[in-house]
Chains A and B, each alone.
Chain A
Amino acid sequence: MANPVEQFKIEPIVPLEIGGVNVSFTNSSLFMVVAVVLATAFLTLSVKGRALVPGRWQSMAELMYEFVANMIRDNVGTEGRKYFPFVFTLFMFVLFGNLLGMIPYTFTYTSHIAVTFGLAIVIFIGVTIIGFARHGTHYLRMFFPHGAPLATAIILVPIELISYCSRPFSLAIRLFANMTVGHIILKVMAGFIIMLGIAGIAPMVFLGGVTVLEFGIALLQAYVFTILTCIYLHDAIHMH
């Protein structure tokens, strides 16, 4: 049976090296470019007609816009509107990354901890800077909930600090683990189909079900990544 983790190997397509650093254009970069081009084409071309009563494509683009705009308005409030471009880009990037990976023989760039941790650390640093810019040192009050007795501060503050600092890790690992494990399951099941010959009908049915589940998980994980970003923004802007 072929190794199910081989699908995550990064292959350089155009090998480049600048000052000893490997900056080659890899299959991961290729699919990131494909996702960006697809998302941009979808959003710009479908609203080109600017119809007042939207047709099918324009409806879809408007639905996506409203979906993220409502998410921000409900979770961050009206001051969050200035972060809409960032959150929308994040949502589109993760969504297209997850969905492109469902096509056979493609590469899921969100299945690499390098990509997801890069996104998560940017969100974490950005949210921390926003919190300090808005509230100054008062932001540190976030680690000591209002009204708790002073004696508990000794245990409470380290726990809150650790839970705050674990946010980028949990964001990154949640997305990367979901994508990686999903694709490994798909590969292993597909291997069983070939191994069993005629009796491979049973794993094939199971594989059909798991593929539908993986599509759902692709959408859900993009949504959860974005909504957790909105929740962290809310915490930074409004301090609980």
Chain B
Amino acid sequence: MKSAIKLFLVVSLLSLTACADKSSSTDINISDGEKSYIENKGSDTIVNLALAWAEAYQELHPNISLSVTGGGSGTGISALINGTTDVANASRKIKPEEIEAIQASGSDPIEYIIARDAIAIIIHRDNPIDSLTLQQISDIYSGNINNWSELGGEKRPIVRLSRETNSGTHVYFLEQVLRLGDKSNQTLFSQDTLLLPSSEVISAEIRDNPNAIGYDGLGYVTEDMKVIAVANDNEKKPVLPSIETVNNDTYPISRNLYMYTAGEPQIYIKEYLDWIQSPKAQSIVIELGFVPLEK
């Protein structure tokens, strides 16, 4: 038995040293001309955009290879804290405790605004409702309004759909819509709100179910659902989300999208992040239904 344990130890030590070798060799790999690797992870809202950028950028720079994964803004920033990603995508601003966690590992997070996004309020195509005020949407999601007839619609129960709590879109919606941007407001989602794991599930339910109301990034809205015009309050005119209305700030639910790095990034990562601000990269933003940065 003793020698068996020894053998096991030797094997595990060997594999450990093998791992160590591997990681040190990637550190040397940074020099120019070599194949450089950028790990990009985070917000599901941004994932399609980040993928499109990565593809375009790899065509221009064949020596750079980019890996893009989703999982949610929190997931991306956790990965940045753990050092398992180079760039974190986030559809919300980094939280103070996350900044602290990154500082604990010895570097300051650096923020890049990469595009803008509007959250569209979506319903089934057959639902006659066309516009809502922010207050009405807040009342729907907090459970004060439970039937479409209270809003002048058909006599149907309202089924509230939301992204999971790990989604940046969820947090943004909670703060800006449910609590109307008021920090002291403690309104919560009604307990029977459906928390769905992905945009696909929300889209599928909105397409099928005339009772449902949901929200998602403008980039995820397709032809076969109805987008609601949103008004700040009763006096203002309801506005549909579009590139114009987001950029001139008339659409009330819009936000910046971010990328974060832990500390000053390496040259080849910096070049990528600079390229994202270029007109060519920003034109991809439009193609994917997001709103480009104003330059």
Our verdict on whether A and B bind, yes or no, reads: no
